[in-house]
Structure 1
Amino acid sequence: MSQATSHSSLVFDLLSPASAQDAQPIFHRLRAQEPIHWSPQLQGWVLTRHADISNALRDPRLVAGPMTGQFERLPEAARTQLLPLRDAVNMWMGHTTHEGHLRFQSLLKRYFTPRTVENLRPRIQAITDTLLDAAAAKGGSIDLVQELAIPLPSSVIAEMLGVPLTDEYMLQRWSRDLTAIFSAFDVQQLLRSQQSVMEMMNYMRDVLAQHRRAPGENILEVFVRAQAEGLVSEEEILSNCALLLFAGHETTARLISKGMLLLFQHPEQFAKLREDASLIPQAVEEMLRYGDVVGIITRLTVAPVELGGQAMEPFQMVYLALAAANRDPEVFADPDRFDINRKPSKHVAFGFGSFYCLGAALARLEAQVFFETLLRRFPHVRPTKDTQPTWESRPPLNRELRALPVEL
């Protein structure tokens, strides 16, 4: 069992925009030569092998929480400024203690049942049709990311939380700031994230009060009943509503936008999908595996841990490269080939074990309805001529698709 060391035969600039633009070559080299890699730059471990990442995701000694590890490295003055953000994030499901995570997961499982999710299909279909109608009415080029991929899941999760759709764009602005919590190493950016989290919680305080005056069968009702049973506090409800408004649409938006780009980049696969819509569910799984929909997530060791023969000390950051695990040749044949006929898929885009994403079925349904409807109504959708996708670097080793011009 080897000990933690700040020395490595492999040296990478993991925070550069260039590495974020194309992380797979770095992942391939790390997975082959040093699958559990100590990064002096990140002051943490980077894991790239499917087996190690799966084991880490189910190990209760590794807890989620991007603020926990980053926070202690900041100057004292910055830590004081960011205390409200740390306290809010540490109440999030998936970012609290292991016991706290299981408590919230148990509560929300009451809502995210297969029947509840499937019952959302007509509403998802209606929102998809409305968005496509508006896009078609514009004529010419549209931005698939901003006009379709983001509004669809954000509208769905907003309705599930009792949020008026008229406030959707404000929620999207807040969500962009929350994304930085998972990658920002800049105090000013974290302060902007903190401001947005506080604004979201105050906003949800009013929405929650309105729900109590006129209850409905939605996620808020699950929380209200749990609070009456003494299972959650008011602040926990507000903090987790902010999380759900953010996390409830970000992954699906990435899945739809990056999935569409993959089809453009692999025309032979796109042709198969046009010819046989029954392939859409497994095509969505391949988009999740191949498309780097979730690049890296963080964990913090809270006790001595051994993973893959490597000893890790308490309170060390661990970076789980899900995008690397999803290209592991030990698990996937020809992993760098995008193949919508691939099945079954053991990808970890939605996590694993007790940290498996509660909204996975909803994200799959939203993406399936979107692609089914788009290809039925606009089978000749194509990239806008003489334009390129717009990317935003999100170090370490991740990037966001911000614009994808298309013609319906």
Structure 2
Amino acid sequence: MSHNNRENVHGNPGIDLTRLHENIYFVQKDIRSVYKDVFQEAVDKYNEKQKWNDRKIQDYYDKIRKDTKTHEQRELVVAIGEGKDDPKYREAKKEALQEYAKAFQGRNPNLAVYNMVLHDDEANPHLHINYVPNFESSRGLTRRVGMDRALQQQGIKGKGMELIANWRQLETAYIESLAKEHIPEFERANVGSHKYMKVRQYKEYAEVKSTVEKQIHEKEVQVEMFNDRIKHGGRKVEELQIVKQQMERDVVDTYKELKTVKRQVKKEEETLELINQRYIELEKKVQQKQGEYGRTMDHLPNEEVCIPFLHKEVVTEVQDKLFGKADITKKQTKNYVLSPQQYQEVTKQVNAAVIIKKDYKRLRQTDFVQENESLREHAKHYRSQNNELKQEKSQLQKKVGTLNAEISLLQAHIRDLQANIKVFVSTNEKSL
């Protein structure tokens, strides 16, 4: 571009420095600004629809420039005749080229011109037109870079080289009409370019044309095969990238599930710990009551006993008489006479029986045994549930490990594909 804009004229002996002022600069824009004007609205709309940041387009110009399948810009050189033509036609050629330049953008709305200059400081006046071909798309990015679709949407028929040839034919016909307006005696030579030659000049190039066309066709076939292989490799890389992204999302989801299971395991373990503590407390209470019961039982005989006594109680009855002595009668009652030691022993046994009766009534109301059994069942249930959660946790950890291993393999495969594509591109570029 520095050559076209004459920013650096050194090293080009074909430039006549005394005619630099004769050059005409129609358009001089930075290509990035043109990309922004043409594509930024479509890029913004595209990015708004993307959920993943890695799918968003940060800089569309950089993206296309790095794309080996797409040219970020194209250049068209337009000239009439050759430098050895009669100098009297120079000004007429220049006027025809100026008309062509001014009408180019209007005739080609899908070819956004960012640099257009007419060089009149070399042997023959000629135009340099640099443009960005673009077209509307109904899927994804609504405006994209692409020569074929750009021309097709302008109404040009055909595809591939036929499409380009048809477009060149239209442009050639237009520049021919302008050339004839300014230089009636000039005739177009059928050389498939935008140049115009005298009939005598055509004979010199006819033989060369056939050879060059064959070489061009061979190179075009090679380029087409090369592009097909590049596209196939690119699609494969894109498919693997999609699989990799899905697996990465699966890993994230599995990690979340694993985190939830870990929380459940922790909660169940805390509940189980509380049950165990309550179980231990009840065991202690039961043991304590068993000790008290044992001590009470120590005061009771193991078999039925007959309580010893001194003798039965005797009551003396005196019955007075009118005459003689009174009658004295002794009778035994149902009461028993105990010694102090015997009384104490009986008292201990009675007190022990009273204590046992009270504890029995209280135990019937509290029912430690029933609560203890219930706690055992709860503990058994929570242990079972805890084991199931631990098994699920182990399975999830294995799944995460497997997914990470598969992602690593995919990444290695993608790197290999990208390396192979680069080698293939480099090899074919050298051969071409």
TM-score, normalised with respect to structure 1: 0.21
Task: Please say which structure displays the higher CA radius of gyration.
Answer: 2
TM-score, normalised with respect to structure 2: 0.20
Q: Quick one: higher RCO (CA 8 Å, sep 6+), 1 or 2? A: 1
